[in-house]
Amino acid sequence: MAHWQILRMFELFLVGIGTGNPEHITIQARRAIEEADSILIPYKGSEKSELVDVRLKICKEIVKGKKTKIIQFDLPSRDLSYSYQEGVEKWHDNVARVWSSTIRKHCSEDTKVAFLIWGDPSLYDSSLRIAERLKPKPKIQVFAGITSIQALTAAHKIPINEVGKSFIVTTGRNLLECGFPHGVKTVAVMLDGKCSFQSLREPKLYIYWGAYLGMENEIILEGWVEDVSKKIMEIRADARNQNGWIMDSYILQKR
């Protein structure tokens, strides 16, 4: 793991902003955004410009009238030629390098720098791991945000767990490689670009699926996997073609 020199001390706010609805932002997170001297917003390519627009809208609403710096920067992509684990490590190193150079260029010493994190900074997000690569290590504050799992259960109006039972949160990659986890009846799946639920052979699996959760173009669908998997994949493909990007998650339950 590489370490990148900032050469100055600063405070780092990792602020969870929910899944696309500005009303997801907590009072605590709003205060952190108001307090920040600079807000860094990653640009992930034109196909995901809507994600930038949501962050800019949030900034405009909260910091209006202040002299807060809004700084956009290009986020490097993960090199797919490496194995997954090695590729992620190198990608985190590259992102840390970009963070460092951007902060050195635009932010003064003893400043408060905020990143607006989609969902929550502590659940399937890399920001904390990237921050560990910065030297000297900044003072970090984390402000929790609504996750896609919370938005999904709210959209479907369901509890995620059975009474007294556990559930597992996993990725599409793990579901595809390992199958449905043993010993549980409920699995929440994130980061699944391959619709891995279609590969499962367990009978009587019920799915609660959602995309663009919390946003105006939110889509939700539920049903038995064997009945709705094809429809979900068709809707997902159409939505991705129309919008240029898609974020979705789902819950599987054995019944």
| Predicted local distance difference test score (pLDDT) of residue 53 | 87
Q: What is the pLDDT of residues 85-137, one digit of tens each?
A: 999 999 999 999 999 999 999 888 789 999 999 999 999 999 999 999 998 88
Helix axes 27-35, 49-62, angle to 10 degrees: 80
| Predicted local distance difference test score (pLDDT) of residue 97 | 94
Are 252 and 186 in contact by the 8 Å Cβ rule? The answer is yes
Write down which residue in 120, 146, 172 finishes a domain. Answer: 146
| Predicted local distance difference test score (pLDDT) of residue 20 | 86
Claim to verify: residue 189 and residue 250 sit in the same structural domain: yes
We report the CATH number of the domain holding residue 15 as 3.40.1010.10
Claim to verify: residue 102 and residue 44 sit in the same structural domain: yes
Claim to verify: residue 94 and residue 138 sit in the same structural domain: yes
Claim to verify: residue 182 and residue 245 sit in the same structural domain: yes
Claim to verify: residue 211 and residue 140 sit in the same structural domain: no
Q: What is the pLDDT of residues 197-235, one digit of tens each?
A: 999 988 899 999 999 999 999 999 999 999 999 999 999
Range of the domain at 196: 149-254
| Predicted local distance difference test score (pLDDT) of residue 108 | 81
We report the CATH number of the domain holding residue 219 as 3.30.950.10
Confidence check: pLDDT of 15 > 90: yes
Name, in order, each residue with C-beta under 8 angstroms of 207's C-beta and a sequence gap of 6 or more: 197, 222, 223, 224, 225, 228, 229, 232, 250, 251, 252, 253
Claim to verify: residue 190 and residue 135 sit in the same structural domain: no
66 or 214, which is more confident: 214
Q: What is the 3-state secondary structure (H, E, C) of 149-179?
A: HHHHHHHHCCCCCCCCCCCEEEEHHHHHHHC
Q: What is the pLDDT of residues 175-205, one digit of tens each?
A: 999 999 999 999 999 999 999 999 998 889 9
The number of domains in the chain is: 2
| Predicted local distance difference test score (pLDDT) of residue 118 | 94
CA–CA separation, 243 and 252 (whole Å) = 26
Claim to verify: residue 23 and residue 101 sit in the same structural domain: yes
- Joined together, the tokens standing for residue 219 give 């889509």
What is the value of pTM for the model shown? 0.90
Claim to verify: residue 105 and residue 199 sit in the same structural domain: no
| Predicted local distance difference test score (pLDDT) of residue 2 | 79
Claim to verify: residue 137 and residue 14 sit in the same structural domain: yes
How many C-beta atoms lie closer than 10 Å to residue 159's C-beta? 10
Write down which residue in 129, 146, 163 finishes a domain. Answer: 146
Confidence check: pLDDT of 46 > 80: no
Claim to verify: residue 10 and residue 129 sit in the same structural domain: yes
Write down which residue in 116, 146, 176 finishes a domain. Answer: 146
| Predicted local distance difference test score (pLDDT) of residue 47 | 60
Claim to verify: residue 167 and residue 139 sit in the same structural domain: no
Claim to verify: residue 141 and residue 153 sit in the same structural domain: no
| Predicted local distance difference test score (pLDDT) of residue 172 | 95
